[in-house]
């Protein structure tokens, strides 16, 4: 995913794309997402009488919270043109470490702190391998995906650790008092605001876009490409560890296989949110919208008693449409150009 | 003319020699792991243990062959696990409803199902010019969803699968499991094609530099669709083999295989950004990963260590690959320099 090597010839920003002001393209994408969201809500409301009740909001938040939280740092990483597939394994490893320490008599908050630290260290490992040794991030993070999950398995084996203080595990049962929001959603919103400010209103954010568009040019412009990528991975590791803690408390148990396979859901949400897989394009608003769309759609389909696996068709379909539509116009133009070329001959 | 081509040819030869050394390295690693484990536990070298080793690696090795074709073109196919699951269940379902279906029909049907998914993946990737990572990730979900809606909570049980079909999964010829023989034939055929045929060499050209390949007249789109189709077809065929091997499958069959396959391919020395690597290497990568897994079991090291070791090994393999690549690049540079001096 690094540098320009992955980009097929036509995806490298052509003149046509470059002429557009970036935020206008983004705005168009987000308005598309809003349309999809409205359609989803109308569909959900007509199909299930229970959808527009307060508990729906809580359950959507509860189901999507950890995935949504992990999607934010991943979005930033994808914007620099890299990828992190180890997110779900880090979620599992952090929950495992926390559970293991807790079961050995540690204070639960101390155990959480160590889990967070482990997340940062794991992220740093990704960062060193990718920026220090210059290895492709997709390969490295498939490796750490297996490694982190494996370490979790070594630590906990088949055992399950429960027995956390009820004051903490209640986050999986009750919303924040006076609202219908789950705790993880509030954390997600907070992180999203921070990410949005960093990405859209600071030099660091501009640097992230610049790296994604042209890593080498960014380097020559004085941007510390390696350092920024490294710290993004560290942040990603720590945030995923946080998600792991929330996941553990939500289920009131720690298992080594917690959240197995979620990495692809997180990637799907980031891409649906309009973040270009080649980097340089995307917005936090898009990611948030994509979280809400996927969350409400899943909740509606669950209320309609559609099998969880079958719901995948909808998620996959959305993902496919989301990449084809923006490219569709250009593809049509290309085909037209080709036929025009053929006519005189 | 000769002054230009001769050193160039020598350079290619040397680079090729290094690549071959890469496969040799994997073989050596397999031998070392195998030998060390056998010293520790003599049962590891017994016939049935080795048979298990080969059978266990076969399916991932088969999928790795198809995946190599795709990755060499600088694309990736993440849908293989779902395709295996779908094909395995549909083939099983046919046997449930028509118990007297000949076994060969099952394999052909599985292959066709996979080929259809592969063609669709390839066409979307090339016509809409959408990154294959996204297309095949979507396909992973959609195919698994279609699979789940067909399965609808049911399961294929061993009693429903004809004996002639499951025999492929456990019978041996001269002590070698049928599964391993089938996969070895696929590796040899595809491996030969990838070395010899111009259309297959085009895949490397596309992966090395898509623009240059297109300018050189390589029909990149058609070749990429072909690569995806073969990868899909092999995954579909793999689904039939999955059913033959396990004789049972439900909606979750082969979930998560895609990452194991990519891991095997990467360990096998196929560059993740395309342009280099062999199907033999990828298949050997699958064998190495499986050998390590089995070795941990045989050494009575808790099987909980499996994933951690596999992950660490993967990282080492990637780093080693990078080091090798840098060395080749440096050698080529010095060779070029020497040539200029002359």
- Residue B190 is predicted with a pLDDT of 93
Distance of CA B212 to the CA centre of its chain: 27
Per DSSP, the residues of A244-305 read HHHHHHHHT-B-TTTTTTHHHHHHHHHHHTT--TTSS---HHHHHHHHHHHHHHHHHHHHTT
Whether B223 has its CB under 8 Å from any CB of chain A: the answer is: no
What is the pLDDT confidence band of residue B158, given thresholds at 50, 70 and 90? confident
Distance of CA B126 to the CA centre of its chain: 22
How many angstroms separate the CA atoms of B79 and B245, rounded? 21
Compute the half-sphere exposure of residue A321: CA atoms within 13 Å on the CB side of its CA: 11
CB A169 within 8 A of CB A59: no
- Residue B270 is predicted with a pLDDT of 86
- Residue A164 is predicted with a pLDDT of 85
Whether B312 has its CB under 8 Å from any CB of chain A: the answer is: yes
User: Per the CB < 8 Å rule, is A323 touching B142?
Assistant: no
Mean pLDDT of the region B3-32: 66
**Helical axes B198-208 vs B47-72, angle rounded to 10°:** 70
Q: Which residue of B has its CA nearest to A262?
A: B256
**End-to-end Cα separation, chain B, in angstroms:** 14
Whether B158 has its CB under 8 Å from any CB of chain A: the answer is: no
Query: Of B304, B290, B315, B205, which is closest to residue B34 (Cα–Cα)?
Result: B290
Work out the minimum CA distance from A177 to partner chain B, whole angstroms: 37
CB B114 within 8 A of CB B233: yes
Confirm whether B247 is domain-assigned: yes
User: Per the CB < 8 Å rule, is A144 touching B311?
Assistant: yes
- Residue B184 is predicted with a pLDDT of 93
Q: Mention every residue, 6+ apart, whose C-beta is less than 8 A from residue A329.
A: none
Q: Per-residue pLDDT for B161 more than 60?
A: yes
Work out the minimum CA distance from B248 to partner chain A, whole angstroms: 19
When divided into structural domains, chain B yields a total of 1
How many angstroms separate the CA atoms of B315 and B307, rounded? 12
Compute the half-sphere exposure of residue B131: CA atoms within 13 Å on the CB side of its CA: 20
- Residue A14 is predicted with a pLDDT of 41
Low-confidence ranges of chain A (pLDDT < 70): 1-27, 326-331, 333-334, 338, 340-345
**End-to-end Cα separation, chain A, in angstroms:** 40
Counting residues of chain B whose pLDDT is more than 70, the rounded percentage is 91
Best of A78, A124, A139, A327 to disrupt the B interface (most B CBs within 10 Å) is A139
- Residue B11 is predicted with a pLDDT of 58
Best of B205, B256, B307 to disrupt the A interface (most A CBs within 10 Å) is B307
User: Per the CB < 8 Å rule, is A142 touching B263?
Assistant: yes
Architecture in CATH for domain A30-338: Orthogonal Bundle (1.10)
Q: Which residues of A touch B312 (CB under 8 A)?
A: 143, 147, 150
- Residue B342 is predicted with a pLDDT of 41
Work out the minimum CA distance from B125 to partner chain A, whole angstroms: 9
Q: Mention every residue, 6+ apart, whose C-beta is less than 8 A from residue A272.
A: A33, A290, A293, A294, A318, A319, A322
Q: In sequence order, what are the beta bridge partners of A254?
A: A161
**B247-257 exposure pattern, b = at least 16 Cβ within 10 A, e = fewer:** bbbbbebbbeb
Minimum-distance CB partner of A323 among B130, B310, B319:
B130
Distance of CA A39 to the CA centre of its chain: 23
Handedness of CA A294, A299, A304, A308 (dihedral sign): positive
What is the pLDDT confidence band of residue B295, given thresholds at 50, 70 and 90? confident
Q: Return the CATH number at B141.
A: 1.10.3470.10
Q: In sequence order, what are the beta bridge partners of B176?
A: B173
- Between positions 226 and 255 of A, the ones with CB within 8 A of B are none
- Residue A13 is predicted with a pLDDT of 44
How many angstroms separate the CA atoms of B274 and B23, rounded? 17
Q: Where in the sequence is the domain holding B202, given as residue range(s)?
A: 19-335
What's phi and psi for B172, nearest 5 deg? -130, 155
Work out the minimum CA distance from B197 to partner chain A, whole angstroms: 24
- Between positions 280 and 319 of A, the ones with CB within 8 A of B are 307, 309-317, 319
What is the pLDDT confidence band of residue B1, given thresholds at 50, 70 and 90? very low
pLDDT tens-digit series, residues B235-275: 999 999 999 888 888 888 888 788 889 888 988 888 888 88
Work out the minimum CA distance from B128 to partner chain A, whole angstroms: 6
How many angstroms separate the CA atoms of B79 and A235, rounded? 30
Work out the minimum CA distance from B304 to partner chain A, whole angstroms: 5
- Residue A41 is predicted with a pLDDT of 87
Minimum-distance CB partner of A9 among B140, B214, B266:
B214
How many angstroms separate the CA atoms of A284 and A29, rounded? 12
Q: Mention every residue, 6+ apart, whose C-beta is less than 8 A from residue B190.
A: B65, B69, B230, B279
Question: Which H or E run includes B172?
Answer: strand B172-173
pLDDT tens-digit series, residues B72-116: 998 989 899 999 999 999 998 888 888 888 888 889 999 999 999
Q: Which residues of A touch B152 (CB under 8 A)?
A: 307
Q: Which residues of A touch B256 (CB under 8 A)?
A: 260-261
């Amino acid at each position: 995913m690094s540098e320009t090597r992955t980009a097929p010839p036509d995806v490298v920003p052509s003149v046509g794309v470059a002429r557009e002001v970036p935020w206008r393209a983004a705005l168009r994408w987000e308005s598309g997402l809003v349309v999809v969201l409205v359609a989803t809500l109308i569909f959900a409301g007509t199909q299930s009488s229970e959808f527009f009740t307060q508990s729906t909001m809580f359950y959507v938040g509860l189901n999507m919270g950890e995935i949504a939280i992990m999607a934010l740092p991943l979005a930033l990483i994808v914007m620099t043109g890299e990828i992190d597939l180890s997110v779900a394994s880090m979620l599992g490893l952090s929950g495992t470490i926390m559970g293991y320490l807790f079961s050995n008599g540690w204070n639960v908050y101390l155990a959480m702190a160590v889990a967070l630290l482990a997340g940062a260290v794991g992220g740093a490992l990704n960062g060193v391998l990718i920026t220090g040794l210059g290895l492709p991030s997709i390969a490295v993070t498939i490796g750490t995906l297996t490694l982190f999950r494996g370490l979790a398995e070594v630590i906990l084996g088949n055992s399950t650790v429960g027995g956390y203080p009820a004051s903490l595990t209640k986050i999986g049962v009750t919303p924040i008092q006076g609202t219908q929001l789950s705790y993880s959603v509030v954390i997600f919103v907070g992180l999203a605001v921070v990410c949005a400010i960093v990405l859209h209103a600071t030099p660091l954010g501009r640097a992230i876009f610049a790296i994604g568009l042209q890593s080498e040019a960014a380097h020559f412009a004085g941007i510390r490409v390696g350092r920024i990528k490294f710290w993004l991975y560290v942040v990603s590791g720590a945030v995923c560890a946080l998600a792991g803690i929330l996941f553990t408390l939500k289920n009131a148990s720690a298992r080594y296989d917690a959240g197995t396979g979620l990495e692809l859901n997180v990637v799907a949400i980031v891409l649906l949110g309009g973040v270009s897989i080649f980097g340089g394009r995307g917005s936090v608003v898009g990611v948030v919208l994509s979280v809400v769309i996927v969350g409400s759609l899943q909740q509606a389909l669950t209320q309609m008693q559609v099998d969880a696996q079958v719901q995948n068709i909808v998620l996959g379909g959305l993902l496919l449409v989301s990449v084809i539509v923006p490219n569709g116009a250009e593809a049509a133009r290309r085909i037209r150009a080709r036929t025009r070329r053929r006519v005189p001959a | 003319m000769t002054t230009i081509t001769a050193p160039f040819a020598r350079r290619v030869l040397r680079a090729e020699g290094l690549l071959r050394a890469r496969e040799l390295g994997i073989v050596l690693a397999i031998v070392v792991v195998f030998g060390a484990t056998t010293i520790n536990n003599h049962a590891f070298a017994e016939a049935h243990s080795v048979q298990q080793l080969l059978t266990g690696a076969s399916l991932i090795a088969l999928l790795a062959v198809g995946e190599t074709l795709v990755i060499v073109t600088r694309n990736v196919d993440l849908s293989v696990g779902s395709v295996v699951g779908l094909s395995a269940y549909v083939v099983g379902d046919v046997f449930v409803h028509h118990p007297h279906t000949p076994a060969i029909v099952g394999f052909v049907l599985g292959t066709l199902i996979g080929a259809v998914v592969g063609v669709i993946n390839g066409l979307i990737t090339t016509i809409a010019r959408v990154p294959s990572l996204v297309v095949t990730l979507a396909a992973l979900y959609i195919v698994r969803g279609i699979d789940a809606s067909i399965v609808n909570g049911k399961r294929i049980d061993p009693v429903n699968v004809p004996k002639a079909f499951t025999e492929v999964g456990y019978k041996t010829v001269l002590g070698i499991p049928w599964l391993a023989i089938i996969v070895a034939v696929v590796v040899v055929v595809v491996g030969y094609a990838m070395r010899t045929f111009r259309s297959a060499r085009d895949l490397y050209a596309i992966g090395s530099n898509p623009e240059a390949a297109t300018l050189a007249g390589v029909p990149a789109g058609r070749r990429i669709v072909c690569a995806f189709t073969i990868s899909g077809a092999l995954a579909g065929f793999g689904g039939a083999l999955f059913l033959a091997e396990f004789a049972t499958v439900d909606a979750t069959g082969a979930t998560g295989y895609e990452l194991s396959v990519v891991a095997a391919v990467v360990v096998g020395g196929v560059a993740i950004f395309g342009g280099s690597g062999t199907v033999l290497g990828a298949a050997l990568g699958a064998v190495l990963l499986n050998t390590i897994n089995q070795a941990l079991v045989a050494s009575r090291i808790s099987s909980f260590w499996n994933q951690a070791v596999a992950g660490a090994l993967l990282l080492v393999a990637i780093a080693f690959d990078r080091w090798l690549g840098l060395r080749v690049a440096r050698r080529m540079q010095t060779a070029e320099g020497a040539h200029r001096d002359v």
